[in-house]
Amino acid sequence: MKKKNGFIAEFKKFIAQGNVMDLAVGVIIGGAFSTIVTSLVNDMLMPLVGMLTGGVNIAGLNVKVGSAVLNYGAFLQAIINFLIIALCIFLIVKAMNKFNKKKEEEPAAPAEEIVLLTEIRDALKNKKK
């Protein structure tokens, strides 16, 4: 019985960790982001591609092999979705890295104590002269 409580306590501790919660939030946002990108591809980009290819619906492309139907158009569309999602994530990470780099490059304002100590040091130097 003690072992079960230890397991449950360990599981609760694991769930309560910030990393697990961050991961859960990331998965939820990623799912929502994927839905937006899928809509962008299906509703905005693919109609334009269809116009350029003479009205061909890429998602509807298939080939029949015996009694099986291979929907290679849906596979192509999934690849396009992946590439667009990867591009968006790359751009977001690149922007975040640039933003974080700017924050690191900005010199931190001296702490109030350091300013005060510098003033005291300078005052003592001037007093000795």
DSSP conformation letters of the chain:
-HHHHHHHHHHHHHHHSHHHHHHHHHHHHHHHHHHHHHHIIIIIIHHHHHHHTTS--GGG--EEETTEEE-HHHHHHHHHHHHHHHHHHHHHHHHHHHHHHHHHHSPPPPPHHHHHHHHHHHHHHHHH-
Model pLDDT, residue 54: 83
pTM here is 0.52
β-pairing, 68-70 with 63-65? Answer: antiparallel
Which CATH homologous superfamily contains domain 2-128?
Large-conductance mechanosensitive channel, MscL; domain 1 (1.10.1200.120)
Q: What is the mean pLDDT of residues 43-48?
A: 84
Model pLDDT, residue 37: 80
CA-based end-to-end distance of the chain: 79
Is 18 a residue whose pLDDT tops 70?
no
Compute the mean pLDDT over every residue in the chain, rounded to the nearest whole number.
82
Is 69 a residue whose pLDDT tops 60?
yes
Model pLDDT, residue 129: 65
Model pLDDT, residue 108: 66
